[in-house]
């Protein structure tokens, strides 16, 4: 009974969510588009000609935002967007998509092959593990996802490139921030307006690789 009540509450909140309505109006696949838009505007990231990698891309709202920012006359993308997720994604014109688990060596190699040595301007990761509710296990999973994005960025980002990663406040969060600070000159935390108040999600933006 309580579960049904919770589900109904969630559905009502979702239906009445102004960002959900706005996403529908603008043709975005998810309200998460507005989280990314706010971060890009605040941090002055992404311009035409950029090579962008979108990790954990499905359903594709972040790739939609990237396309809007890189598209020129005639609907051609000035730059490149490569998206990856373990769930299928409806195609987005001009976006190259890899279906697979980024945790698997073969999938990471597929992404490397697609880049063909091309340096990346922006890595953005909205990846989130399936959480179990067990604090220690969940913090380890979150850290692993952030580490994967960080490791990929250190291999492929241009020296002045940037990384956006979704993390969650709680056990292990400070270690993730420290890890980013060891490798990047500037690391900031942002909680966009479109991020629900009750959510512990926080986005880390890292710029300028050290060394």
Q: 166 catalytic, yes or no?
A: yes
On whether 94 is known to bind a ligand per the annotation, the reply is no
Give 159's contacts (C-beta < 8 A, 6+ positions apart).
208, 209
What average pLDDT does the structure give for the chain? 90
pLDDT at 2: 46
**CATH fold for the domain made of 31-209:** Rossmann fold (3.40.50)
Of 133, 135, 131, 123, give the one whose Cα is nearest residue 165. 123
pLDDT at 14: 59
pLDDT in tens, 159-185: 999 999 999 988 889 999 999 999 999
What does each C-alpha distance from 67 to 71, 106, 155 come to in angstroms? 6, 27, 24
pLDDT in tens, 50-67: 999 999 999 999 999 999
Q: Is 51 helix (H, G, I), strand (E, B) or coil?
A: strand
pLDDT at 13: 62
pLDDT at 196: 80
pLDDT at 211: 73
- The domain segmentation of the chain, as residue ranges, is 31-209
On whether 106 is known to bind a ligand per the annotation, the reply is no
pLDDT at 177: 97
**How many residues does the structure list for the chain?**
211
Whether the model pTM is above 0.85: yes
What's the rounded Cα separation, in Å, for the pair 70 and 64?
10
Three-state helix/strand/coil letters over 52-108? EEEECCCCCHHHHHHHHHHECHHHCECCEEEEEECCCCCCCCCEEEEECCCCCHHHH
**Which H/E stretch holds residue 33?**
helix 32-43
Of the residues 5, 166, 193, 207, which is catalytic?
Answer: 166
On whether 147 is known to bind a ligand per the annotation, the reply is no
On whether 10 is known to bind a ligand per the annotation, the reply is no
Residues in the chain, pLDDT under 70: 1-16, 132-135
On whether 78 is known to bind a ligand per the annotation, the reply is no
Instruction: Give me 85's structure tokens.
Output: 């997720």
pLDDT at 12: 61
């Amino acid at each position: 009974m309580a579960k049904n009540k919770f589900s109904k509450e969630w559905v009502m909140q979702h239906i009445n969510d102004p960002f959900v309505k706005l996403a529908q109006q603008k043709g975005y696949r998810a309200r998460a588009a507005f989280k990314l838009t706010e971060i890009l505007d605040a941090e002055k990231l992404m311009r035409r000609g950029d090579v962008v990698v979108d990790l954990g891309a499905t359903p594709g709202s972040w790739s939609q935002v990237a396309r809007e920012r890189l598209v020129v006359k005639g609907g051609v993308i000035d730059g490149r967007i490569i998206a990856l997720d373990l769930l299928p994604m409806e195609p987005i014109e001009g976006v190259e998509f890899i279906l697979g688990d980024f945790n698997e060596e073969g999938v990471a190699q597929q992404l490397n092959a697609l880049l063909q040595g091309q340096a990346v301007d922006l890595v953005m990761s909205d990846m989130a593990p399936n959480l179990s509710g067990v604090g220690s296990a969940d913090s380890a999973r979150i850290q692993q996802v952030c580490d994967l994005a960080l490791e990929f960025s250190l291999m492929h980002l241009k020296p002045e490139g940037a990384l956006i990663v979704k993390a969650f406040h709680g056990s292990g969060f400070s270690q993730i921030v420290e890890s980013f600070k060891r490798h990047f000159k500037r690391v900031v935390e942002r909680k966009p307006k479109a991020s629900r108040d009750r959510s512990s999600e926080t986005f880390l933006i890292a710029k300028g690789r050290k060394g």
